[in-house]
Structure formats: C-alpha cells, structure tokens
DNA sequence: TTGACAAGTAAACGATCGTTTACTAAATAT
DNA sequence: ATATTTAGTAAACGATCGTTTACTTGTCAA
C-alpha cells in the first residue's frame, strides 16, 4: 500500500529529527510504524533511500509553497483589496507565515531539526542546511529588499531574518512554545520602527 | 600518560563535532589517536565518559573565561586608560571577542557544533545548548543592557545577539570564512547606529 | 634484582547493525 | 478457478558496535 510507504517516511522523519540519521536504526523505524524491519525493504531499497525521499519531499513542498505565494497573472486586478497592502505589511505577513511554517508545521519542523543534525557530515548536507535555513533565506530577504529599492538591503535583511533564525532554536528549547512566538512578534514590532518605507 | 588522555578527548571532540555522538565509534576515536580501541579503556571507563569529560572541560573553560573578563577590584584605578572605554566600545569589544571565540578557537567551535548535533536527544542536552548558544547568551546581553539602564533591553539584546548566532551557522557553511567575519563586522557597525548610549 | 604498576595489543564477548532470504497469506489478474 | 503479485513475518547473514579479558612490554620503587 502506498499509504504504508508514507507512514514509514513520516516515522523516519520524526526519529531522524530527534536522534540524527546514525542515531536511528531500521528496527526503530519499523517498530514506530508497527511492523518488522524486513517489511521496510518492500517499500524502500535501503535506509538511505528513506532519507533521500524526505529531502525530495521537502524540495517538492518548497516549490509548491513558492508557487502558491507567487501571485498569478491578473490576480491583482480581480481582487485588488486583498493585495492592497504596503510593502511593510507584506513583509510582516510573509515573516509571520515563515516563522509559523518552521516552528509549527510538523514536516518543516522535523525537516529543519533533521538538517540541523546532519549539516556537518558532508558538503551536500551543509549546502542543504545553508539553502533552507541559513544564508539561503537571508539572501532571499536581501534580494526582496533590493527589489524594493531599500538602502542597505543586506543589513536590513540581517535585522529581519537573524532574530527569526534565533527564535527557531529558542522555540525548540522551550517548554511553553507560545513564549517564543510572542518574543518573535515583539521583534517584528521593533523591526517595523526602523523600516524605511511605509 | 596524562597527555594521552588529553589527546583522546580532543580527537573525540573533533569527531563528535562532525558526526555526532552516535555517528562516532570507539574504534574511530582510537584510530584518530593512533592506538587500538582497547587502550582507550585505560583512560576512560567508557565512551560516554569521554563525552562527559568534554562537557566538564567546557564548563571549566567557561568559568575561567568569565573570571578573566571580570575586572578585579581596584584594577580600574591602577590602569585607568585601558578601561576608559564607553559602554558602546565595551560592548563592541565583547561582541567581537565572543564571535572570535565561537568561530575560530578550536575547542569552542567543536563544542558548539557537537552541542548543535546533540541538542534534541534529551532535556539535558537541550538545556546545555540553550545555556551556551541560544537563550543563555541572549539573556546575558539583555541583563547587561538592563544594568546600563537601557530602554527595551531585551529587544536590543535580540538585535545584537541574533546576528551573531546566525553568522555562527553561516561561518560554518562557508568556504571562505573571512567573508562571514566581515559580514559580522558590518552588522556591528549597523548595530552601533541605533545604540542609544555613547 | 625483583616486583608492582602503567599503558599498550590482540582477540574475543554478546548485542545490535543494515540487509537478504525463504516462506506465508491475502489480494488481484487472467 | 488458477496463477501471479503484493505485503508481510521470522530467521539468518556478515559486519560492526561497545566492552572485557589475557597477555606483553617498559618504568620505576623497594
């Protein structure tokens, strides 16, 4: 069943996110899914293939998400009021959505932690970590500011994204997750005050 | 020999920082040191004891460092010119020293990476990670600003520390490390501009 | 000179690793 | 109705895991 393959992927992701790839055995995954380890090999050719499927899934999720947040042609004309936001409001909404995504959505949260645990193993993992969580988002925000003709776009990008990145980690270590979320909201308020455009 | 015990500790730290605790075997450590794995047990009672020694060493290093940066009584009177810095200059010097410490000193760099890889395994590791790298330094800087009677101390602490934290990760993923260091310096310059005191 | 100790090797321990094989039962297709 | 495929189990594979044991050396004190 195709659903079983999905359950294996999710179970493996949860375990990898906590213990790292080497810290999880094929038996661990099988037990979590509720079958014997031999059965896993009916769905994936080996342990590494499960890991690779997770990465591929994240890439698909990421592309789909990028597509959804790109406005379709003519959408601005059809429902102008929904898009009648200032640049600042757009950036705030984007930041809040991004923070929610990486701290509350199960798959992204687990994927972020998994990548965090694998980033030093080889160049490929390091590149993935940078792309999804470190220099990647930073440069994305900087490009966004550059397109808005904002001065010192990179510096301002650091001021916006660095606290997001820090609060991911603080969120992970908190018993009461809402505290980290509110601290991040206060950061966004503060950021607004030295945002040049309106 | 006591020197052998030290070589084991450093070799293990380097391996743990790259592959995580579970990703390193006792044989790996022994090979790195240049002996057979049985010999390791003449110096440490088991693999976990090596890891624990690393944590203990970091705690000692941290306390010693804190002691060195706490001015001794009367030092201000003896050599006033060395301490004649404004609050802002002190904070900049402190920040630069801290960034160098966690990105260039071998032991702290490896320890930071090792903790990063172990943070999700249990509450103890999570607490250590928060203490050394996430909420710990953030609250330390916030307390420092509070002591200087600065308004919105926590918000300003986020603005100072979050980019440091982000640039640790960017530094890790860079081929040319000096680029990350210069980016961090530019952040410090920008931070100065909305620092209230002189 | 001898005996105790320290630091190493080589080999083996049982446990667990990732993976494969032989087999079973149910579902599906011809 | 029968043959084939699918999805599972149980057991075993060789390799490696962390750890222990038996033994060899060199050092140094009595």
B75 or A122, which is more confident = A122
Considering only CB atoms, which chain A residues are within 8 Å of B109? none
Q: Shortest Cα distance from B142 to chain A (angstroms)?
A: 13
CB contact under 8 A, B173 and A121: no
Q: Which of the four pLDDT bands, split at 50, 70 and 90, describes residue B67? A: confident
Check residue A3 and give its pLDDT. Answer: 95
B121, B159, B170: residue with CB nearest A135: B170
* A27 CA → C26 C1’, Å: 25
Give B91-122 pLDDT, tens digit per residue: 999 999 999 999 999 999 999 999 999 999 99
Reply yes or no on whether the pLDDT at B152 is more than 90: yes
pLDDT band of B195, cuts 50, 70, 90: confident
Residues of chain A contacting residue B21, judged by C-beta atoms under 8 Å apart: 23
The ranges of chain A with pLDDT < 70 are 71-85, 197-198
Is residue B72 over pLDDT 80? no
pLDDT digits (tens, 9 = 90+) for B7-60: 999 999 999 999 999 999 999 999 999 999 999 999 999 999 999 999 999 999
- Residue bearing the bigger pLDDT, B162 or A89: B162
Q: Give the tens place of pLDDT for each residue, A82-127.
A: 555 688 888 999 999 999 999 999 999 999 999 999 999 999 999 9
Q: Could you give the CA distance from residue B71 to residue A116 in angstroms, rounded to a whole number?
A: 37
Give the model's pLDDT for residue B86.
Answer: 80
Domains of chain B: residue spans and CATH:
1-54 (1.10.10.60), 69-193 (no CATH)
Residue-level pLDDT at A67: 86
pTM listed for this prediction: 0.95
Query: Across chain B, what does the average pLDDT equal?
Result: 93
Q: How far apart are alpha carbons B190 and B160 in whole angstroms?
A: 10
């Amino acid at each position: 069943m195709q659903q079983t393959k999905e359950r294996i992927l999710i179970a493996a992701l949860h375990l990898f996110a906590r213990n790292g790839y080497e810290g999880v055995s094929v038996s661990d995954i099988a037990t979590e899914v509720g079958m014997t380890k031999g059965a896993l090999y009916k769905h994936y050719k080996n342990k590494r293939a499960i890991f690779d499927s997770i990465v591929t899934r994240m890439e698909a999720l990421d592309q789909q998400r990028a597509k959804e947040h790109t406005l379709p042609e003519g959408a601005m004309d059809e429902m102008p009021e929904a898009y009648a936001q200032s640049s600042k409001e757009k950036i705030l909404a984007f930041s809040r959505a991004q923070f929610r995504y990486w701290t509350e959505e199960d798959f992204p949260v687990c994927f972020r932690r998994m990548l965090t645990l694998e980033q030093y193993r080889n160049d490929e993992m390091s590149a993935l970590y940078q792309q999804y969580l470190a220099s990647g988002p930073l440069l994305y925000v900087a490009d966004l500011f550059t397109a808005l003709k904002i001065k010192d776009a990179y510096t301002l990008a650091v001021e916006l994204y660095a606290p997001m990145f820090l609060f991911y980690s603080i969120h992970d270590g908190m018993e009461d997750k809402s505290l980290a979320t509110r601290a991040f909201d206060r950061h966004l308020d503060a950021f607004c005050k030295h945002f040049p455009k309106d």
